[in-house]
Homo-oligomer: A and B are copies of this chain.
Amino acid sequence: MLVSRTSQYAVQALIYMATQPSTVPVLNKDIASRLGVPAPYLAKILQSLAKGNLLFSFRGRLGGFCLREGGDKITLMQILLLTEGPTFTQTCLLGLKKCSDETACPLHFRWAPVKKKIIDLLEETTLEKLAKAVETGKYRLADVPGNLFDQIKA
């Protein structure tokens, strides 16, 4: 597994939010049903994203979550740094605690250029780009097409 399920849910949810009009907060339960993801669990993830200053959260009636900045300002890297932890780009393939250019594992210099590709991709991919891709209709955000009620509403 490349990233945790938590990270996957976070990215999916944020892409979905970026496809929605930013004038009104998005409800946790709407995101959850659209993505086919457990709502209480997603709520916890969204709350941590709010603590990480990626989202605004509003309580009470008409409450919900909003992107704190435009989708063009938020990259995959920012999200994964929150959900995977601040050192996730530094981890060694073989699991060594110290693995740098000075004290390296035998894979270090083979892995470095590939890792750079990954980091570049994460840093240059914004929510806006991904949201646009979804809006074309060619790309799927979730496995199951939302439940029947949602389809009727839409």
Chain A residues with a Cβ under 8 A of chain B: 1-5, 8-9, 11-12, 15, 84, 88, 91, 93-99, 103-108, 110-111, 113-114, 117-118, 121, 125, 130-131, 133-134, 138-143
Considering the complex, give the chain B residue whose CB is closest to the CB of A111: B121
- Pick the contact of A103: B5, B94, B95, B140 (CB < 8 A): B140
Residues of B within 8 A of A143 (CB): 96-98
Interface of A is mostly: loop
Contact B140 A105 (CB under 8 A): yes
Contact B2 A96 (CB under 8 A): no
Contact A133 B106 (CB under 8 A): yes
With contacts A2-B91, A121-B111 taken as known, whether A139 is within 8 angstroms of B97 at the C-beta atoms is no
